[in-house]
């Protein structure tokens, strides 16, 4: 049975990692980052809902009077 030659594995793995590192660096370098993303102001309009004009109270079951 022939032996598997593993002498070039280290070189191939190191070159693969180096190539992947260079490819990812080139892809990341293409992205532009904005200096202050919060500087843009967006105006939101307040929508009036019917329940905002009325006084409401939510009764939780535990806040009701206890009747024994």
Q: What percent of the chain has pLDDT over 90?
A: 31
Task: Please report whether residue 68 resides in a domain.
Answer: no
The residue-averaged pLDDT of 20-37 equals 86
Mean pLDDT, the chain, rounded, equals 76
pLDDT of res. 6: 86
Task: Please report whether residue 26 resides in a domain.
Answer: yes
Task: Please report whether residue 28 resides in a domain.
Answer: yes
Please give the model's pTM, rounded to 2 decimal places: 0.43
pLDDT of res. 23: 96
DSSP E strands, 1-68: none
Task: Please report whether residue 20 resides in a domain.
Answer: yes
Q: How many domains does the chain have?
A: 1
Task: Please report whether residue 66 resides in a domain.
Answer: no
Spell 21-59 as b/e; 16+ CB within 10 A means b. Answer: eeeeeeeeeeeeeeeeeeeeeeeeeeeeeeeeeeeeeee
Range of the domain at 26: 6-60
């Amino acid at each position: 049975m022939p032996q598997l030659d593993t002498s070039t594995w280290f070189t191939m793995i190191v070159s693969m990692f180096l190539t992947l590192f260079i490819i990812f660096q080139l892809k990341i370098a293409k992205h532009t980052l904005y200096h202050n993303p919060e500087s843009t102001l967006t105006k939101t309009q307040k929508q009036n809902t019917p329940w905002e004009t009325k006084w409401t109270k939510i009764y939780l079951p535990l806040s009701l009077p206890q009747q024994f």
